[in-house]
A and B are shown apart, each in its own frame.
Chain A
Amino acid sequence: MPPESARPIGLFAVGLALALALASTPVLAQPAPPPDVEPPVVVEHVDAVYPPSALKDREHADVVLALTVDVDGHVSKVDVLESAAPDLDEAAIVAARQWTFVPAKRRGKPVASRIRVPFHFAPPAPPPELVTPAPAAETTLPSQPAVQQEPASAPAPAPAPASAPAPAAVEEVDVFGRVVRRKLGVADYDVTLGELKAVPRANASDALKLAPGFLLTNEGGSGHAEQVFLRGFDAHEGQDLEFSVDGVPINDPGNYHGNGYADTHFIIPELIHSVRVLEGPYAPQQGNFAVAGSADYQLGLDRRGLTAEYTAGSFGTQRLLVLYGPADAPAGTFAGAEFYTTDGFGVNRQAKRGTAIGQWETALGHAGVLRVNATAYATEFNNAGVVREDDYAAGIVGFYGTEDPAQTGNTSTRASLSATYEGHFKDTVVSQQLFVIDRSMRLRENWTGFLLDVQEPTQEPHDQRGDLIDFHYDDVGVGARGFARWHGEALGLNQEFEGGYFARLDTTHSTQYRVAAGSNDPYATDADYQSTLGDIGVYVDGNVHVLPWLGLRGGVRADTFLFDVLNNCAIQSVDNPSESMAAAQINQSCLSQLENGNYVEPILRTSTGSAAIMPRGTVVVGPFDHIEFSASAGDGVRSVDPSYVSQGIGTPFVRVESEDLGVSYNGGVGAIRRTLPSGATVAMPVDLSLKSEFFRTHVGQDLIFDPTEGRNTLSSGSSRTGWSGAARLLGPFFDVAANATLVRALFDTTGDCFPYCGLLVPYVPDLVLRADGALFQELPWPIAAHPVRATVGYGVSYVGRRPLPYGQVSDIIFVSDASVSLAWTIWNLRLSGQNLFDSKYRLGEYNYASNFQKYLPEPTLAPERSFTAGAPRTILFTVSATLGGGS
C-alpha cells in the first residue's frame, strides 16, 4: 500500500486560533461616508413612547441608537450607542424597529447602511398620567434625509406625548454593505432569513429551503453533507450546486466520494444573514459545480452584544452557543462558537461537533472595507446508513436502526482563512478576496452489506468480508477571486461593466478502502488518488440599460481546468496473470503486473487541461412598476472527479445548458394600522414579493448514485423542464414565505444514453412545497415594565413521490416544524419542535441489491428496497441571554 501523502496539519489549528482571536479584536473607528453614498431616507417612523416606569422621575434623557438599514429599507439591527436607562433604551429600540427607509445607495444601487439616531425623551406634559391622543391619530413623517451634517434639535413631533425623538439628527453613515451582484432575473433569490429564523432549522443547509425546489436528505449522519435536490437535479452532496460562504468556496474539488461534495455544517445557522441562491448558471461569476445553480451564504450577526445560548432536548441533545458582536461595530464583525452533542434519534446517530467562526470588518483607506474571516470546524459522528425494507418489515431492524453498526468514527474538519477587500474609487468598485482552505473527512459507510467481496481466483479462499467503505479525503486549497466594476452613463442611463476572475489550486488525496466486518482490518483498496487540481476562471459581465425599463445583464465566462492525477492503485486486476507474479501478489488490490505478467508499477499518472467557455445572459424587462419579466440563458460546467481523468482527455468537465423565463412582483400591498402602546395609530406597510418561472435545463452527463461504489458515478445526459413559484409576505408582525416547484427530469433519448434512454431521472422529486411563517409581536403584558416579545415560527415541507429505480416510487414526505419564543430584556426562551407530528417518514429510498444477511442464510443478490429514516419528533428547549447588545 502506498504511503499516505504528506499533509500540512497546522492550518486547522491556525484557523481555530484566528477564529477565536478575532472575537476579541477591537473595532476601529469608522470613516466618514464615502462621497458617492446616498444616505437612507425615512419613509415611515414611529415615535418612542415615554415608558411608564420612568414617569415617576420625569427626567429628560437621550438615547442614541445605531440602526442598520437593509437594502430593502427595513431596520435589521438596532444597537444602543448611548444608553439612558434600560426602559428608555427599550422604548427607543421598539420604536426604531418600526421605521422604514428608502435604503442608502451607492452610485444609485441600494446598499445596507448604518445610521445613528438620537432619541430625546421628555416627560409628558400633564404628569403623571398619559394622555390618550386623538382617535386614530396617525403619525406621518414626510420623506426626509435621515442624515444631516449637524445634529438637529427638533422637538418631538406632535402628538407624541411621551417622547421627543430627533429622527432627522444623524451624524454619520457607516456603509458596510457588501458589494453585491446585481439581481439576475426571477431565478435569483436573495433569501434574507429575518424573522423566519424562528422556524427551526437543523443546520445551515436548511436555510436553502426558503428558495424553491430544494429537498435535502442525508443518508450519512449528521456530519455528512446533505444530499441536495434542486429543480429536477439530484445535486447529490453539492456536486451540482456551487456553494460558498461570503465568496469562499465550500465544494470539495477532487473528492472521490463526490466531486464537489459540500459540507455546510461548519456554518453556524445563527450567523447566516442571508443566502443568495441563483437557480441556474446565469451569472458569469458562477464557477465550477454551478450546474443546478449556486448558493452563497452571507454571514452576519444581527443580535449584537454577547449572547450565550444553551439548548437541551430530545435524544440527549445539548448545544452551547456563544455569539459576540460588539454593539458599536458593524454587523460584519462578529464571532461565534458552538459546541454540540447528541445521542441521536436511533442506533448509530451519535454526533458531536465544535465550530468557531470569527470575522472582523473594518474600514480600510478612504473608501474601502476589509473583512477577515477565520473558521474552524470539527465533527465526529456515527452513521446509521440504510435499512432494508424487508428487514424492517420482519422486525429484525428497527425503523431508526442500522444494518451495520460499524459505520462509526466518521469525521469532518474544515479550517479556512479569508480576507476580502472592497474599495470604491470614483466610478469603479473593486473587490479582492484571498482564501486558504484545509479540509478533511473520513466516512465509513456500508451500502451493500456482504455483497461485493466475491471470491477471485487470485485471492485466498474467503467469505464475504463485508462492504464497509472507509473513505478519507484531504484537501489544501488556496485561491483568490476579484473583480472591478465600472459605473458610467450612456444613453442617459446608468451602465455597468465588470471584469473578474476566480483562481483556485488544490492538492487533494482521496483513499477508499474496504474494511472487514469484525476485525476492522482493511482488506482491499478501491481508490487512492493524489491530485493537483487547478481552476482558473475569467469573466466579463455587463449590466446594460437600453431603455429605462429594459436591461441586458450577462457576459461570458471561461474556465481552465487542470488535472494532474496520480492513481496509486491503477492496476487492480488482470485477466492473464503470470504464475510467479500472481503468487507474490495474492490478495493485493494494487498489482504491479499487466497481462501475462508484464511488470508495471502499480501507479498511473494522468494529466490534462481544458477550457470551457460559457455565455450567460439575462434580459430584464420592467415596463410596469413593481413587475419585472426576465429571460435567462446560460451554460455551466461541473468538473469530473479525478478517477475519470485519463491522459489528455478532451473535456474533463460536464456541460449544462439552462434557460429560464419568469415574472416577479415586488411591492407593497397596503398597510396595516397598528395602535401603539402610546395609543397612536400608525400605518405599517405590508410588502409582497411573488415569483413565477418556467425553466429547462440539459446536462451533458448526469450523475447517478451507485451503491456498489458508495458514490455517484457518471451516467447519460438528462433534461429537466418545470415551473417554480415563490411568495413572501412581510408585515409588521408577520413574515410568511412559500414556494413550490414542479419538475420533470428525463434522461436523453439520443446519443450515448443506454441504458437510461428516455427514463425518468431517479430520486428527483417532481413536486416540492415549502412554507415558512413567523408571527412576532410585543405582548400587551409587560413584565417589570419591560416588554415581552413573542415569536412563533412554523415551517412545513411536502415532497411528492420520487421516482426510484426499477419503476418504483417513494413515499411522500410531509413534515412540520414549529417554535415559540419569548424575549424579555436580555433573556430569550425558545421551545422548538422538528417533525412536530412525529411523522415516521423515509427521507431517502433506494432500490438496489444488498445483502446484510439478517435473517436469511443465503445472500440477497437482486434489487430490493432500502431506506434511510427521517428524524422523529425532536423537542429542544433553548435559553439565551444577550449582554451589551442594546437590542
Chain B
Amino acid sequence: MSAAMRSRRSLAPIVGVAAALASCNGTTGDTLLAFSAYASGVAGAAEPFRAGNFTIQLTTARMHVGALYFDEAPPGTGFDGPVCIASGVYAAQVPGPVDVDLLSTAPQEFSVYGAGTADTALSWQVWLTDGDVNEVNVTPVVELEGTATGPDGAVASFGAIVTINDNRSHGSSDPAQPGNDPICKSRIVQIGGLDLTFSPGGTLKMTVDPRIWFTQQVDPIDFSAGQLPPVTDPNCLSADTAVPVSPQDYALAPETPPPSTQTCGGSGQPCCSDDAGLGTCLGALTCNDSICGPTFCIPNSSFLSGSDPGATAGVDLFSEIISSAPFSVRYGAQP
C-alpha cells in the first residue's frame, strides 16, 4: 500500500474540539478518535520451542493481516445473526493490512491509521484476507519455514504456505442455511473475552505468537520422515487450485539476511555445488530447481484424504492459525 493511501489524520484537532465542546456546552457523548496500530511477534518466537516430541525452530513466520475490527458486543451466537460482520456497533477499526514478521518483536505499523470511538470493545475480529473478504485471495495469510528436531536428533526442514480459498471451505451443506459457511467465515477470526477501552491518544498493538500454532495442537505435528509430503508433492503445490505454487515458493528468504559471505545454500539462495556438481544446501534444506528451501511442506488444504501425508497437519495448523489463542491486543501508550 502506498503512502498516499495511508489515511493519516491528526489527532489533536479532534481531541481539542471535543474537549472544548464538552467543557463549555455539553456533548453528544463519546468521542471519535484515531490511533496508530502496530503488529508484531512475541519474545521467544524466534527461539527453539517444544511441540510434542519435536523442537521447532522457526526461521521465517510471516502473516498477512487484512484488517482489525473491534465490536462493542461479544461474539454473536444466534442462528439468525449475521455470519461474518457482526450486527453490533463497531467501536474501532484498522481497515488496512500489514505484513508482519512474527519472529520480530519490533512494532510493525499497519498501512492505515485506526479509527473509532472512545468506547469499550468486548470482542474483536482479525481479518485474514487480502482484498475482498468474499473473493479469491492470492496472498498467503501465513508463510512459514523452519526446522523440527526429533527425539532422535534428526532434523527436518519444513515450510507452509497458507491460503484461504476453496481449499479451506466448501460452503454450507445445509439447504436451509446455504449462507452459514461462506468463505469470509474462514477468513475472520472472531475473538471474544475482550475488555478494551479506546481513548484519544492511544496506540494499538497486536501480537501474534506463531509458536501456539504448533504447541496448542492436541496431536502435534509429526515431522518424522514420511509424515509430511516433500515440497514437490502435488499436495504441496496445488492444494489451493486458486493459488498454485512451486517448490521455490517455499524457499523463504529469512527476514534477517544471511551474512554477505553466504551466497548459497541458505533458504531462498541458489544451491551450492559440491564436488560432484550436485546442488547442496545448508542444514536440512533441500535443493529444488537450484534453489534451497525446505524439504517438506505442511499441506495447504483442509480436505486431503486421511491417507495423504500431512493431511492432518494441514488441518491442524490452519485450525490454530484461525483460533483466537495466538492473538492478543492491547491499547495504551506508544509501543
Residues of chain A touching chain B, judged by Cβ–Cβ distance below 8 Å, are 390, 393-394, 451, 454-463, 573-580, 582-583, 586, 744, 746, 755-756, 758-762, 766, 801, 803-809, 847, 849, 855-865
Assuming the A-B contacts A808-B32, A858-B95, are A582 and B176 also in contact, with contact meaning beta carbons closer than 8 angstroms in the complex? yes
Contact indicator B66/A858 (Cβ below 8 Å)? yes
Assuming the A-B contacts A805-B30, A858-B127, A860-B95, are A583 and B117 also in contact, with contact meaning beta carbons closer than 8 angstroms in the complex? no
CA distance A582 to B176 in the complex (A): 5
Tell me how many residues of B have a C-beta within 8 Å of chain A: 62
**Contact flags (1/0) for B104-148 with A, using CB distance below 8 Å?**
000000001001111000000001011111110000000000000
User: Among B28, B115, B175, which residue has its beta carbon within 8 angstroms of that of A760?
Assistant: B28
Q: Which of B2-10, B45-53, B259-267, B312-320 contacts A (4 or more CB under 8 A)?
A: B2-10
Q: Which of B19-27, B277-285, B291-299 contacts A (4 or more CB under 8 A)?
A: B19-27
CA distance A580 to B21 in the complex (A): 56
Chain A: which residue is nearest B89 at the CB level? A849
Give me 12 A-to-B residue pairs in the complex whose CB atoms sit less than 8 angstroms apart, sorted by A's number: A393-B9, A455-B85, A458-B80, A458-B179, A744-B25, A760-B26, A803-B21, A803-B27, A805-B30, A809-B21, A858-B127, A864-B115
Assuming the A-B contacts A455-B182, A586-B178, are A806 and B171 also in contact, with contact meaning beta carbons closer than 8 angstroms in the complex? no
Contact indicator B116/A463 (Cβ below 8 Å)? no
B192 to chain A, nearest CB (A): 17
A463-B135, A862-B117 given; 13 more Cβ-contact pairs under 8 Å: A394-B7, A457-B180, A459-B178, A461-B179, A462-B134, A586-B178, A760-B26, A806-B117, A860-B95, A860-B115, A861-B85, A862-B70, A862-B92
List the A side residues contacting B32 at CB < 8 Å: 806-808, 847, 863-865
Task: Determine whether B83 belongs to the interface, using a CB cutoff of 8 Å to chain A.
Answer: yes
Contact indicator B184/A455 (Cβ below 8 Å)? yes
A-B contact count (CB 8 A): 172
List the A side residues contacting B333 at CB < 8 Å: none
Chain A: which residue is nearest B133 at the CB level? A858
B231 to chain A, nearest CB (A): 30
Contact indicator A456/B28 (Cβ below 8 Å)? no
Assuming the A-B contacts A807-B21, A857-B130, A864-B115, are A454 and B28 also in contact, with contact meaning beta carbons closer than 8 angstroms in the complex? no
List the B side residues contacting A760 at CB < 8 Å: 25-28
CA distance A864 to B130 in the complex (A): 23
List the B side residues contacting A575 at CB < 8 Å: 78-80
User: Among A759, A801, A857, which residue has its beta carbon within 8 angstroms of that of B132?
Assistant: A857
List CB contacts (< 8 Å) of B172-195 with chain A. 172, 174-180, 182-184
List the A side residues contacting B172 at CB < 8 Å: 457
User: Among B5, B70, B115, which residue has its beta carbon within 8 angstroms of that of A855?
Assistant: B5
CA distance A478 to B25 in the complex (A): 46
Contact indicator B96/A856 (Cβ below 8 Å)? yes
List the B side residues contacting A803 at CB < 8 Å: 21, 25-28
Task: Determine whether B226 belongs to the interface, using a CB cutoff of 8 Å to chain A.
Answer: no
| 5 tightest A-B CB contacts, nearest first | A454-B82, A858-B67, A579-B176, A582-B176, A457-B180
CA distance A463 to B175 in the complex (A): 19
Contact indicator A393/B7 (Cβ below 8 Å)? yes
A461 to chain B, nearest CB (A): 4
List the A side residues contacting B127 at CB < 8 Å: 858
List the A side residues contacting B14 at CB < 8 Å: 808
Assuming the A-B contacts A390-B7, A759-B28, are A858 and B85 also in contact, with contact meaning beta carbons closer than 8 angstroms in the complex? no
Task: Determine whether B84 belongs to the interface, using a CB cutoff of 8 Å to chain A.
Answer: yes
B16 to chain A, nearest CB (A): 11
CA distance A809 to B132 in the complex (A): 33
Contact indicator B179/A806 (Cβ below 8 Å)? no
Chain B: which residue is nearest A761 at the CB level? B28
User: Among B26, B82, B135, which residue has its beta carbon within 8 angstroms of that of A455?
Assistant: B82
Contact indicator B26/A759 (Cβ below 8 Å)? yes
Contact indicator A583/B115 (Cβ below 8 Å)? no
Contact indicator B176/A806 (Cβ below 8 Å)? no
User: Among B30, B116, B177, B183, which residue has its beta carbon within 8 angstroms of that of A457?
Assistant: B177
Task: Determine whether B29 belongs to the interface, using a CB cutoff of 8 Å to chain A.
Answer: yes
List the B side residues contacting A756 at CB < 8 Å: 29
Contact indicator A809/B17 (Cβ below 8 Å)? yes
User: Among B67, B117, B130, which residue has its beta carbon within 8 angstroms of that of A863?
Assistant: B117
Contact indicator B26/A861 (Cβ below 8 Å)? no
Task: Determine whether B54 belongs to the interface, using a CB cutoff of 8 Å to chain A.
Answer: no
List the B side residues contacting A582 at CB < 8 Å: 176-177
Contact indicator A806/B30 (Cβ below 8 Å)? yes
CA distance A390 to B28 in the complex (A): 22
List the A side residues contacting B214 at CB < 8 Å: none
List CB contacts (< 8 Å) of B60-85 with chain A. 66-67, 69-70, 78-80, 82-85
B7 to chain A, nearest CB (A): 5
CA distance A455 to B31 in the complex (A): 30
Contact indicator A807/B85 (Cβ below 8 Å)? no
CA distance A863 to B4 in the complex (A): 22
Task: Determine whether B158 belongs to the interface, using a CB cutoff of 8 Å to chain A.
Answer: no
Task: Determine whether B230 belongs to the interface, using a CB cutoff of 8 Å to chain A.
Answer: no
Assuming the A-B contacts A393-B7, A455-B182, A760-B25, are A849 and B115 also in contact, with contact meaning beta carbons closer than 8 angstroms in the complex? no
Chain B: which residue is nearest A759 at the CB level? B29
Contact indicator B28/A762 (Cβ below 8 Å)? yes
Chain A: which residue is nearest B183 at the CB level? A461
B11 to chain A, nearest CB (A): 13
List the B side residues contacting A457 at CB < 8 Å: 79-80, 83, 172, 177, 179-180
